[in-house]
Amino acid sequence: MFTLQILMMAIRGLRANLLRSLLATLGVIIGVGAVISAMSILEGTQRDIVERFESLGSDAITVYPATAKSGGRTIGLVQTLTVEDADALRDPRRCPNVADAAPEVSGGTSIKYFSRNIEATVLGTNEAYADMLSYKVESGRFFTRDEVITEQKVAALGYKVARDLFGNAPALGFPVKIRGISFRVIAVMEKKGDIGFRNVDSQVMIPVTTAMSRLFGIRHVHAISVRAEGPEKVDTAIAEIKRELRRQHDIRLRSGLKDDFLIFSQEEAREQFRDVTTIFKVVLYSIAGISLVVGGIGIMNIMLVSVTERTREIGVRKAVGAQRWDILWQFLIEAGIISLLGGANGVGLGYAMTDLLEKTTRVIETFTTPMVVAWALGMAIMTGILSGIYPAYKASRLDPVEALRYE
């Protein structure tokens, strides 16, 4: 009952100086708003990336080329992975725990169908690629092993590429020109969206051999996607890949040579990514903390003014029997309400800002967790109360006689 009445008093005190109370909350509003939007963006991005990792499957392994060294000197961006490497990894006698492997070479390029011309990513790979990613053909068929070996000029179009080039008209059997070379469309893929960090809908898949010799003029592949026989086989599969690639590349560790490839499992990649986001989180939380401290100073400032201005009122309250605690409480609650209001409005602002960012950029993914909101609100209230302590203490210690004399 008593606390309720003190609360009512505090609310009336704040309402009497509405503009000032609002200004006092401003720092907290901005602080909390900033925390929430920053954390939402971070969280959203994190979730997006984790989702991408997961879309690859936890049994996915990627092999990248590393810089090759010759006599202790780096000899540039030497590409060390080949189609033969991918084939070796696919051999069940050599790597029994590898389910399948697909080499990848890719590049952005323009694709033409008569007068229509669009930009797309061309991916050279082998016949295992689509199955490995559970990426299905909508019409036609994916290219075969023979077509890869014989460097056929055939193409499987991603959903969006097919749409953009052919509209609703059938695409199968028609020729498209990639860098001036004519490819026959043999497949239109289902609509899939993102797999990993790649939007497969705006991708054109052709045999890796054709891509290397005809389009890009290279002898090496950019990466090899590997799938283990199961999530629990990832570690053994990695060991097999290492052994096999060392054998293929004639790397003898004992003679001081280093691996010229890097292997990432989904788990490892995700962990590395987590480490990075943790750093971001720490930085963001610190910035947020600073902005809340600034907000707290704002509250303290306003509360000190308020205490000075109401010195006489405090004297009267004491004269009619208020204890120090009563005065302390009243001002602490005022500070608490200011910060709570600031926090609540800050949450609103944070939501509005993330929403705006998401809608205007269309790239930034945001996700606001209840934890972040709770944390921001809690910090705001803490700040308010902490910054209210000194003014409230000052008010409670006022000498009643002095306070009553105050003009």
Partner 1 sequence: MIQIESMTKLYQMGDSVVRALDGVDLQIEQAEFVGITGASGSGKSTLMHLIGCLDRPTQGAYRLAGRRVDQLADRRLAKIRSEYIGFVFQTFNLVNRTSALDNVRLPLIYARRHSTRKLAMRALERVGLARRAGHKPSELSGGERQRVAIARALVNNPPLLLADEPTGNLDSRTGEQILELFHGLHADGVTIVLVTHEMAMAAQAQRVIRMRDGRIVEDRKVDEAFRQELLASGMKPVGPSAVRDQSIAAAARE
Stretch that binds partner 1, among 6-14, 73-81, 245-253, 256-264 (CB under 8 A): 6-14
Q: For residue 226, give the nearest of 216, 211, 236 by alpha carbon.
A: 236
Cβ atoms 330, 9 nearer than 8 A: yes
Taking the complex as a whole, the smallest distance from the CB of residue 323 to partner 1 amounts, in Å, to 5
In the complex with partner 1, the residue whose CB is nearer, 356 or 401, is 401
Please report, as a single letter, which amino acid is at residue 216. Answer: F
Q: By CB under 8 A, what part of segment 289-318 binds partner 1? A: 312-313, 315-318
Q: For residue 247, give the nearest of 232, 261, 229, 230 by alpha carbon.
A: 261
Q: By CB under 8 A, what part of segment 343-402 binds partner 1? A: 399-401
The reply on whether position 18 binds partner 1 by CB under 8 A is no
Number of residues that bind partner 1 (CB under 8 A): 26
In the complex with partner 1, the residue whose CB is nearer, 16 or 149, is 16
In the complex with partner 1, the residue whose CB is nearer, 228 or 332, is 332
Taking the complex as a whole, the smallest distance from the CB of residue 326 to partner 1 amounts, in Å, to 6
Q: Which of 50, 218, 382, 404 binds partner 1 (CB under 8 A)?
A: 404
The reply on whether position 234 binds partner 1 by CB under 8 A is no
In the complex with partner 1, the residue whose CB is nearer, 242 or 312, is 312
Ramachandran quadrant class, 154 (left: phi over 0; alpha: psi -120 to 50; beta: rest): beta
What letters, b where the CB count within 10 A reaches 16 and e where it falls short, cover 85-105? bbbbbbeeebbebbbbbbbbb
Query: What's the 3-state SS for 294-325?
Result: HHHHHHHHHHHHHHHHCHHHHHHHHHCCCCHH
In the complex with partner 1, the residue whose CB is nearer, 380 or 392, is 392
Taking the complex as a whole, the smallest distance from the CB of residue 325 to partner 1 amounts, in Å, to 8
Q: Which of 6, 228, 234, 303 binds partner 1 (CB under 8 A)?
A: 6
In the complex with partner 1, the residue whose CB is nearer, 6 or 122, is 6
Tokens of 277: 């986001």
**SS3 of residue 72 by DSSP:** coil
Q: By CB under 8 A, what part of segment 317-336 binds partner 1? A: 317-324, 326
The reply on whether position 15 binds partner 1 by CB under 8 A is yes
User: What is the β-pairing status of strands 181-189 and 137-140?
Assistant: antiparallel
Q: For residue 124, give the nearest of 106, 108, 112 by alpha carbon.
A: 106
* Rounded Cα gap, residues 231 and 209, in angstroms: 30
Stretch that binds partner 1, among 5-13, 42-50, 226-234, 369-377 (CB under 8 A): 5-13
Taking the complex as a whole, the smallest distance from the CB of residue 356 to partner 1 amounts, in Å, to 38
* Rounded Cα gap, residues 342 and 22, in angstroms: 8
Stretch that binds partner 1, among 10-18, 147-155, 279-287, 342-350 (CB under 8 A): 10-18
Taking the complex as a whole, the smallest distance from the CB of residue 407 to partner 1 amounts, in Å, to 10
Cβ atoms 95, 225 nearer than 8 A: no
Tokens of 383: 């700040």
HSE, CB side, 13 Å, CA atoms: give it for residue 171: 31
Q: By CB under 8 A, what part of segment 60-119 binds partner 1? A: none
Beta partners for residue 206, in sequence order: 124
In the complex with partner 1, the residue whose CB is nearer, 249 or 324, is 324
Distances (CA, A) of 147 to 24, 154, 219, 361: 72, 8, 18, 42
In the complex with partner 1, the residue whose CB is nearer, 16 or 297, is 16
Tokens of 347: 């949450």
In the complex with partner 1, the residue whose CB is nearer, 2 or 71, is 2
Q: Which residues bind partner 1 (CB under 8 A)?
A: 1-2, 5-6, 9, 12-13, 15-16, 312-313, 315-324, 326, 399-401, 404
